[in-house]
Amino acid sequence: MSAPEQLALPLSTPAADTPLLFGRAAPESEPAQLLLVRDESDRLRAATAAEIIAAARRAMTRRVRRGVPLASPCAVRDFLAVKLGALEYELFAVLLLDTRHRLIDYVELFRGTVDKASVHPREVVKLALERNASALVLAHPHPSGAAEPSQADELITRRLKEALELVDIRVLDHIIVAGGETVSFSERGLL
């Protein structure tokens, strides 16, 4: 195993002489905590931000993988926030689900620019039929940081829902991710 894969996952409180929390001084009122990894000589050291993010992605990928039922909307939002939250461009992705809402696949279909991505309903329907999906969760990031759905977001969601209904595939949700924030069309009554 490489060093970044040997994360000591429980947060450890460092010794009193270690006042830094990821490169900044820890506030006096809060105890400093570090995520530790083993280096090549089997000693523990503070994890870098990149190692922490990589570990979070691996953990989320294990939670949301093929055959796992997506019974928790929170787990889906967390997974999508990790996958899409740091992107600096628009991207349109789908979670393909079977009849029991178990994950078949996560597919990033269309990549766009900083403020838009072209989404083609025909390609979404084609993919869903090829993978034998019974339901989909749509997702895309807003690199601007504003998670509020736009009129274009609402329009494409409506068009996709109508196109997929023709072949008996349900759209369960459309989730917009802006940094760590997510907005669910389903929870807002927009589906």
What proportion of the chain, given as a percentage, has pLDDT over 70?
72
Helix (H) or strand (E) holding 53: helix 49-63
Compute the distance between CA of residue 26 and CA of residue 15 in angstroms, rounded to an integer: 13
Compute the distance between CA of residue 114 and CA of residue 7 in angstroms, rounded to an integer: 34
Map out the domains of the chain with their CATH numbers: 3-55 (no CATH), 67-184 (3.40.140.10)
The mean predicted confidence, pLDDT, of the chain is: 78
* 134 pLDDT tier (thresholds 50, 70, 90): very high
**115 has a pLDDT exceeding 80:** no
**183 has a pLDDT exceeding 50:** yes
Residues in CB range of 26: below 8 A, 6 or more apart: 19, 20, 32
Identify whether the C-beta of residue 11 lies closer than 8 Å to the C-beta of residue 33: yes
Average pLDDT value for residue range 6-18: 41
Q: What confidence tens digit (pLDDT) does each residue in 71-107 have?
A: 667 878 888 888 888 888 889 999 999 998 888 999 9
Q: Return the pLDDT at 33.
A: 63
* 67 pLDDT tier (thresholds 50, 70, 90): low
Q: Return the pLDDT at 125.
A: 96
Compute the distance between CA of residue 7 and CA of residue 26 in angstroms, rounded to an integer: 22
* 21 pLDDT tier (thresholds 50, 70, 90): very low
Average pLDDT value for residue range 61-75: 63
